[in-house]
Amino acid sequence: MALVAFGGAMLLGSAGCGSLIPIRLPEASEAGARSGDVLIVGKIDIIPPIAPGEQKIRAGSFGLDPADIKGKLQQRALLYLSDAPSTQREGSGDYINPRLGDWFAYWVPRGKRHITEAVVVMDFQTVITGRRQAHTQSSELLLPAPVSIDIQAQDSAVYVGSWRVWRDEFNSVTRIQANQELREAQAAVKRLVGRDVPIRTAIPKGLAR
């Protein structure tokens, strides 16, 4: 499945609909890595944590969710990646879908080093109004973006930091901190990949602490 922008909101569509539809990049434990891909490693913690049921995800019609939109949005973030830098938020392009509070590692094409959008969807509703039409409404907690990752030619894996994101009662971000927990990141990658992988710290500029 893939995630696309539709009417200013986030929608998941079928990757079979065409090459312009972005795809979720593979996790470290999944098949699908291509020659030259690099592992992007990190962790995202929301403070206070998102409570069960706090996200209002209503996907599909008649209680059906064939694209598993709910599974891709609940307790997860969406980080869009591009091979071109951006000066504004752009929710398009291939993406990774890390679970909040857990270590993540995704295989990413080496050139896709720009995070053009990063969100946690707090409210999402899509209503099918016709065979090829849908209306959506959404609200998001905005994570740091756009930012760029310093991926170098020799890198096998880069650690983008452990992001701690504080929010208020309106889901506005009040503080962001990127901690360096390289030893824990190395252990997580070994667990996910099944072997040791050399990791270099590359916390995006503006987040380094």
pLDDT tens for 109-156 read: 999 999 999 999 999 887 677 777 767 788 999 999 999 999 999 999
Show the domain range for 152. 2-201
| Neighbouring C-beta atoms of residue 8, cutoff 10 Å | 9
Domain total in the chain: 1
Question: How far is the C-alpha of 169 from the C-alpha of 116, rounded, in Å?
Answer: 25
What's the pTM?
0.84
What pLDDT band is residue 104 in, cutting at 50, 70 and 90?
very high
pLDDT of residue 120: 97
Residue 192, pLDDT above cutoff 70? yes
Interacting residues of 33 by C-beta distance below 8 A, sequence separation 6+: 26, 107
Q: Is residue 207 part of a domain?
A: no
Question: How far is the C-alpha of 117 from the C-alpha of 106, rounded, in Å?
Answer: 16
Q: Is residue 209 part of a domain?
A: no
Q: Is residue 80 part of a domain?
A: yes
pLDDT of residue 8: 35
Q: Is residue 131 part of a domain?
A: yes
